[in-house]
Chains A and B, each alone.
Chain A
């Protein structure tokens, strides 16, 4: 193996190790991020959540939201929802 070939092989090995290193770091970061979110969901310091998932205690048919339908007919209504 000449000097140039040796350098190429060494460079390739270093690159491979570096790639593993980057992948490993990403994996560690991903696990850490997931763990942090898990902690937030049970801690008092939560507050950055963008969605609401825990206040609905009456879901009973597997659907997250009720299915509404429109009603173009006139006549009597059961109630009115306006500002409160």
Chain B
């Protein structure tokens, strides 16, 4: 996929594809080592699927404040900022809701349809992101609340890995974690070439990103599974605890950080019909694919 003069590596983690491209092939081994180590650290800090993760330990504290690592504090802070800035559209406290819908283990392990198990009464804590307290590294999660940092942690990791590799090697770098793309350092001539397409057969286009730019896509057709209420996708509306209505198949946004791009694309899926105007008013370069595969773009998106 990469141009021949680049160095590229690709592997699977977090049930998604990691792609690493550097402008200097000689920098690839060091770059890959850095990225693998960083992703392992993030996973150990905030995975909700691991019993040995720091976040799992926090969930066991039943509402008591706990001193967490600098890394987890940063990941939680990023998630809370995303919640604040989107008016709660991207809320990390949906962990219990999405687990109850069946996404309670690594996505690659969700292979058996749960089917319709009949009527169930599910009561969720009324707490939301506003009830999570983070003072420095002192974190308090209300009893019964499970944090899902996945929406922002992956994008944050892409940003961080790109910056680390560029700083360590001096090469231009692109890091893609399941399509959440961050770049740093000098870009190749003409920019990074990125295919924006949810999956084969979906509307697609290729754009060029300048160095330092980021691009994220959120989808209602990827990461689907058959849950107790039918076919579900992984982007929940925090207000209902259910998957957001399928107004858009895919929303892609470019920004100067992957966290920013991902926060906007995720919130856009949650906002549904209002998303295009909301993104346009902010001037965000964005591309939205409707359920009927019609493509809408804001003025900042190249046509």
Contact = CB atoms under 8 A, between A and B. Distances in A.
Contacts of B301: 68
Interface residues of A, number: 37
Contacts of A60: 212, 256
A66 to B, nearest CB: 3
B48 interface: no
Contacts, number: 182
A55 B81 contact: yes
Contacts of A54: 81, 84-85
B223 interface: yes
A68 B192 CA distance: 10
A84 B1 contact: no
Given A65-B285, A76-B1, A52 B130 contact: no
Contacts of B178: 84
Contacts of A82: 179, 196-199, 202, 217, 219, 222, 250
A37 B194 CA distance: 39
B192 A79 contact: yes
A59 interface: yes
Nearest to A69: B208
Contacts of B86: 49, 52
Contact of B217 (A49, A58, A84): A84
B264 to A, nearest CB: 6
Given A52-B86, A70-B205, A81-B252, A65 B302 contact: no
B200 to A, nearest CB: 10
B284 A65 contact: yes
Given A52-B260, A56-B256, A77-B194, A66 B219 contact: no
A80 B194 contact: yes
Interface residues of B, number: 79
A57 B257 contact: yes
A10 to B, nearest CB: 50
B19 to A, nearest CB: 5
B12 to A, nearest CB: 13
B123 interface: no
Contacts of B179: 79-84
A47 interface: yes
A72 to B, nearest CB: 7
Contacts of B177: 84
Contact of B283 (A55, A65, A76): A65
A56 B257 CA distance: 6
A44 interface: yes
A65 B264 CA distance: 13
Interface of B: 1-4, 6, 8, 16, 19, 21, 78, 81-82, 84-88, 130, 154, 159, 174, 176-181, 188, 190-199, 202, 205-210, 212-223, 249-250, 252, 254-257, 259-260, 263-264, 267, 278, 281-285, 300-303
Interface of A: 44-60, 64-73, 75-84
